[in-house]
Structure formats: C-alpha cells, structure tokens
Copies of this chain bind each other. A is one copy, B any other.
Amino acid sequence: MNRVKVDLEERSYPIMVGDGLLQQTGDLFNRLGFSRPPVVISNPRVLRLHGRPLLQSLERRFGPISVIRIRDGERFKNQVSLQHVYDELFRAGADRKSWLIAFGGGVVGDLAGFAAATFMRGIPYVNVPTTLLAQVDSSIGGKVGINVRQGKNLIGVFHQPSAVVTDTAVLSTLPSRELASGLFEVVKCAAIRSETLLRYLERRLPEIQSCQPHALEYVVLESCRIKAEVVSRDEREGKHRMILNYGHTVGHALEAATHYRKFTHGEAVAWGMLAALQFGNELGMLGSDQGDRLARLIRRVEELPALSGISFQALWRALSHDKKFGSARIRMILLPRLGSSRICDDIDRAQLKRFLKNFLKQHH
C-alpha cells in the first residue's frame, strides 16, 4: 500500500493506493480514528460488483452498516437524489457524529460529499472511488456538489474528505471506454506536471489497458501525487489549481455543445488537449515534435469519437458562456514544454475563434 498526503493543515488527509484495499477498509478507517459504523452511499452496479469485500470488511470492524443507494448516471446527480440521501440519513438515525463513505465513481463522490458537507452543518466523509476517473481526479480535492438545470456542478461547496482509499483492483471490471476516459486524465496529469509519468505511459500503455496490477498502481499513484500536490498548494482554486483544467476549456465546451451525450468526460478532455496543443503551437508555445509526441499518446489510448456534427456556433457559445468564470476573458492552460504548464489569461478571442473553426473542420 502506498500513501500520498494532501497537505491542507487541519484539513489534511491521506490517499491510500493499493491492489486489494477494499478488503482492508474496516481496519484502515478504524486506524484513522473512526469508531462508529459509517453510512455507505453507493449505486446498485458498484454494490453488485464490489460491495461484498467492502461491506464485509466494514462489518467485521464496525458491526451492521447502513447502505444508501442512488441511481447511476450523471443525470441523477441532482436535487432529488440529494433529498433522498438526506431522508435516508435521517431514517438511518444519522447525527452530527456520523460519517459517510462515498463508494463509487464521480457522481457518488460528488453527491455523497455534498450531502456530508451540508448534513447538520457538515459531517466527515471518506472516498472509496471505483472508477479510474474518480481515483485520479474527482475523489481528491474536496469539490463536491450537484447539477441543476442551469448547468453542471453549479451548486456545491469545498468539503475535503477525511481520507481516500483507492483499490486499483476494482478497475478490472470497468468498461474499456470508462477506463480510457480516466486514462485521458492520467495523460493530462503527466502533460502538465511529469515527463516521467508521460514516458511511463508511452512505454507501458498496453499493460495499463489490460489492468496489470503493478502498472495500474503506478499510474494511479503518480496521478494522485500530482493532483494532491496541486490541491495542497491551492485548495480553493485561487489560481494555481487551474492547471488541472488543461484540455478542459475546449473539453467542457465540447461536452456542453453535445449535451454530455457524445463524449465521455475524458474523451472531451482528450480533444481539448489536442486543440490546446495545436493552438499552443500556433502561439509558438510548444514545438510540434513535442506536440506530436503527446498527440500520439492520446491517439493510442482510444480512438476518439469524431467531431462531426458539432456546429461551431454551439461550441463557441458553450465556450464563451461558461458562466462560472464571471469575465469576458477566456482562460486556457498551455504547455511551454511537456511536463510543465502555464495559465494563459488573455487568450485572443478572435484568434481562438478562427483556430477552433479550422480545428472542427480538420477533424470533421
């Protein structure tokens, strides 16, 4: 088992990464100081595939465990599911001293984390992420919340977990497209922060894709290290943390313009990285040899759904109306070289517009 620390003073917490950790969760959480039985929040699919080792381990240590089920899928990360979680928490007799386990992918983590943040002014929760995307990204950093009809993640808070327990063994049941989606975030981590991880991915991609324990553990651990380090420097996304948004300016716009149906999150980010690479090259930021190297790796992870059928107007509207940022400026993360990133605040709108129009046409 490997440990990474997210260093946030009194809100610091460990990320534990290992093959087969689910069977040890009872002891792990007990050693972290939890003594009452937790309430587990999960979805039916995850419980069916991986519920037994987790629940057995917890029950051995804590006695009978309450489980709250929410429906699977991003569209259920909403107010109705949240209310359901509250109701079930009351029904289970939860109080200020209760604690929750978010056991699932990003939807479960975001929703359970938000429930924990707001139940009786905040109770602790821990993440036990079961998708690669959640393991390397959403389970770390305390961004929790729900979607509303006005957009994704618009209602939420920062509420750091008390621990993250990441069992890489569960990834073997992941559909390959979901594994790829997570791998694109791993590639992103490497691109912005670690040429070493990038080289490892280039060399060992087949082993990772076939879920060989050692290779999976390595890339998950390294990605967690990078995310933890960034979050430790900037808990509330003052500025530095934005580098994690590499590929996300265009990626988010692609997701929104296609109503979150055409691409997985990772695929949209992959397209976003390809666009950022090419745009950065146009700005003289990154040599095309290096750009090509990263693009080749992205292409090897998965054949991306084409950009055909996406209107430039819809894409541009989504990109420039990203309400969260409260400014007319467009921000992009660009790479001065592989393994290093820069936050670019004053992207020339006209230039980006021209570029994206071409980019869409190119990849039609």
Contact = CB atoms under 8 A, between A and B. Distances in A.
A354 interface: no
A261 B273 CA distance: 60
Interface string A81-108: 0010011001001011110000000000
Name the prevailing secondary structure of the A interface residues: mixed
Interface of A: 79, 83, 86-87, 90, 93, 95-98, 117-122, 143, 145, 148, 150, 154-158, 236, 323-327
A122 B93 CA distance: 29
B143 A121 contact: yes
Contact of A325 (B95, B118, B122): B95
Given A79-B83, A83-B79, A154 B326 contact: no
A66 to B, nearest CB: 15
A117 to B, nearest CB: 6
Contacts of A96: 324-326
B326 A156 contact: no
Given A87-B150, A90-B154, A122-B157, 9 more contacts: A95-B323, A95-B325, A118-B145, A118-B157, A119-B154, A120-B155, A120-B156, A121-B157, A121-B158
B155 A157 contact: no
A143 B93 CA distance: 22
A154 B83 contact: no
Given A90-B150, A150-B90, A156 B118 contact: yes
B86 A148 contact: yes
